[in-house]
Amino acid sequence: MRARELGRKSVVVGDRVGLVGDVSGADGALARIVRIAERRSVLRRTADDDETTAEGRLERVVVANADQLVIVSALADPPPRAGFVDRCLVAAYDAGIEPLLCLTKADLAGPEAVLDYYAELELPYVLIRPDSDLAALRDLLEGRVSVMVGHSGVGKSTLVNRLVPDAARAVGTVSAIGRGRHTSTSAVALPLPAVRGRDEVPGWIVDTPGVRSFGLAHVSADSLLHGFPDLVEGTVDCPANCPHTADEADCGLDAWVAAGKADARRLASYRRLLASRAGEGDGRAEPEQRNPGDPLAGS
């Protein structure tokens, strides 16, 4: 339980806290949280992109003190949604957390389209198949607090159960319309299995409930651009206070893309987020309709 003197200060998964009382963990033991250490990082999201709405003002802390954001995306069933991954990247960069792209169901489809879309970012990634060895992923998780996020149905809970066999996270199926069923209902921190001959915990995984949106109302417009590092240099020649919108004639981003220095789809994604922040379009970032011939889905 939380000590009364902490007032309304919230305690979230990943917080480092000071305890008094019975900390044995035995049945019936009672301890109080009396201190919450300063957070090294805070990963946040909102239900809406527009901060003028009630949903946009409602900020949710996903996890504190994480080192790495593992963005879990299936390559098929359901198809990858680049817009959602872009949102997670913005949130990670804003929080000062390193991103890692984890592409599941690699037995059903190849990763070429997704990797091509992020080619300019040099984004670290791992491919996961049902029978694949997880050694490469374990190496990237070792010694870190890693928070895993992803749409429902992408295989996140299955992956957690493989990494932490005692986790027993609930596993669901993908519905007929291509959306996963929510199986995890709360965020939980799980220690990775100990390495033989070592006393310390080799790392932690924070498993989160599957999400259908990742709102960015808490991220400033300037910070939003830094979620697209492949576009930042293209704004050097922009006029002061350039909004970087499509109707801004002097914005340098269109010329940057036309010169082949960034993917036009990345600029379109960035401008969709700008429009959503301004209250235009779908601020909740629900999945968009796929464009014919486009191997990547929407948000």
At 145-192, the pLDDT tens digits run 999 999 888 989 889 999 998 876 555 444 333 344 444 457 899 999
In sequence order, the 6+-apart residues with CB closer than 8 A to the CB of 297 are 78, 79, 80, 81, 82, 83, 287, 288, 290
Query: How large a percentage of the chain has pLDDT more than 70?
Result: 84
3-state percent breakdown (helix, strand, coil) of the chain, nearest 5: 25, 20, 55
**Helix, strand or coil for residue 157?**
helix
Q: What is the mean pLDDT of the chain?
A: 85
- Domains, the chain, with CATH or none: 4-36 (no CATH), 40-299 (3.40.50.300)
Global pTM value: 0.85
User: Burial code of 152-168, b = ≥16 C-beta within 10 A, e = fewer?
Assistant: bbbbbbbbbbebbeeee
pLDDT digits (tens, 9 = 90+) for 42-75: 999 887 777 777 776 777 888 999 999 999 999 9
Say how far apart CA 205 and CA 192 lie, in whole Å.
7
pLDDT tens string 201-249: 789 999 988 666 788 888 888 889 999 999 999 999 899 999 999 999 9
Q: Which of the listed ranges 22-26, 53-57, 255-259, 282-286 does the model predict with the highest average pLDDT?
A: 255-259
Instruction: Pick the closest to residue 128 from 160, 176, 173 (CA basis).
Output: 160
